[in-house]
Amino acid sequence: MIPKTVLCAAAMSLVVAASAHAEDKVSPGELKAKVDYCRTCHGVNGQGYRGAAPMPRLAGQQPEYIKNQLEAFIDKRRTNPVMQNVAHVLSPAMLQGLADYFQSLNPKPLGGAPHDLAAAGEKIYKQGVGDKVPACASCHGDDAKGHDQFPRLAGQLHDYMFRKLTGWEKERGQNPAKPDTSAIMQPIAHDLTPDQIKAVAAYLSYLE
C-alpha cells in the first residue's frame, strides 16, 4: 500500500503543476481587453497612428522583438514614461499573448512619406553607406520583415522611424548592465545623416 503522505505529496504536486500551467496563458477576454487598450495609441489594426506624435506600427512585428522591447521598458533599458507604465504590469503570459496577436495582423501601411525619397532610401537599405553603414537588409531581411529579435521595418511610419533613429542614444541602451540587440544599431544610427534617415524611412514606410 502507498502511504498517505506520499499520496498527499503527489496530489499537491499535481495542483501546483496545474496552477503553474494555468498562469502560462491568458484568457481570450483578458487578451482582448489589453489589445483594446493598445489600440487607443497604435491603431485599430495595429497599423500605427498619427496624433500628437507618431505611434509605431505593431502589426506584423516579430513576436520576439515585441517581447524584448516590452521587457526593455520594464527594465528601463528603453525610456518612455507611457510605455514603462504600460509594460510593467504585464505578465510573461500577457507579453507572449500580445506579441503573437500583433504578429498575426497585416493591414496596409499608412504611408504619407515623400515618394521622391524612396529610391535613395532603397539603395541605402539594400547596399548600406560606404564602409560605416552596412546594408539594413543584412539584419532586417530583403523584405524588411525582420526575424527573431530583429524587427520588421516594412510599413512602419516614416516619421516614427525618423524620431527613433535620430534620438537613438537618448532612448535605447539605457541600462549598460543589461545590453540587448539595440546596441547593434547605436553606431549605425549615429553614422546616418538626417537626410539619409528620411530616405530610408520613406522607402520602408511603403513596403507591405
In this predicted structure, the answer to whether residue 18 has a pLDDT above a threshold of 50 is no
What are residue 150's DSSP bridge partners? 147
pLDDT in tens, 105-155: 999 999 999 999 999 999 999 999 999 999 999 999 999 999 999 999 999
Q: What is the pLDDT of residue 2?
A: 53
How many structural domains compose the chain? 1
Q: What is the pLDDT of residue 176?
A: 83
Q: Is residue 19 part of a domain?
A: no
Q: What is the pLDDT of residue 23?
A: 54
Q: Is residue 104 part of a domain?
A: yes
Question: The domain containing residue 198 runs over which residues?
Answer: 26-205
Q: Is residue 17 part of a domain?
A: no
pLDDT in tens, 153-186: 999 999 999 999 999 999 998 988 888 888 899 9
Q: What is the CATH number of the domain that holds 56?
A: 1.10.760.10
Which has the minimum average pLDDT: 53-67, 86-100, 169-183?
Answer: 169-183
What is d(CA 141, CA 135) in angstroms, rounded to the nearest whole number?
A: 10
What are residue 144's DSSP bridge partners? none
